Amino acid sequence: EDQVTQSPEALRLQEGESSSLNCSYTVSGLRGLFWYRQDPGKGPEFLFTLYSAGEEKEKERLKATLTKKESFLHITAPKPEDSATYLCAVCGGATNKLIFGTGTLLAVQP
C-alpha cells in the first residue's frame, strides 16, 4: 500500500536556526514526489517536484532532496514568514494519484 510519513509533526525554530523536515514514502513506481506549503485558511501552494533519487531543487531558503526511500526539506536560516505547514505527497503505484502525508507544522520565532 502506498504510504507517506512525515516527521516531526511539529517543529519550533528560532529565526536563523536551520533544520530539516523528513518525508518517508513507500510507493511502487514513483512518478514524482511533491512538496507543498500550506498557510492557515489557504490551499496548498506548490513548492517542488522531485522525480528521481539524487535529485535536488532549491528555492530561496528551501532545498529539497530525494533518495529511494525518503525526501528532506532543508530550511536554511529560516524567517518568521516561513512558518506554515509543509506537506509531502507522492504520485505513483497503480492509481497514479497523489498520496499526502499529514504534514509538519513549522513555527519560526523572531
Query: Which 75-94 positions form the footprint of another protein (CB under 8 A)?
Result: 87, 89, 91
3-class SS letters over 38-94: ECCCCCCEEEEEECCCCCEEEECCEEEEECCCEEEEEECCCCHHHCEEEEEEEEECC
Q: Does 34 bind another protein (CB under 8 A)?
A: yes
Among 44, 62, 73, 78, binds another protein (CB under 8 A): 44
Q: Does 40 bind another protein (CB under 8 A)?
A: no
Query: Where along the sequence are the contacts to another protein (CB under 8 A)?
Result: 4, 31-32, 34, 36, 41-46, 49, 87, 89, 91, 95-98, 100-103
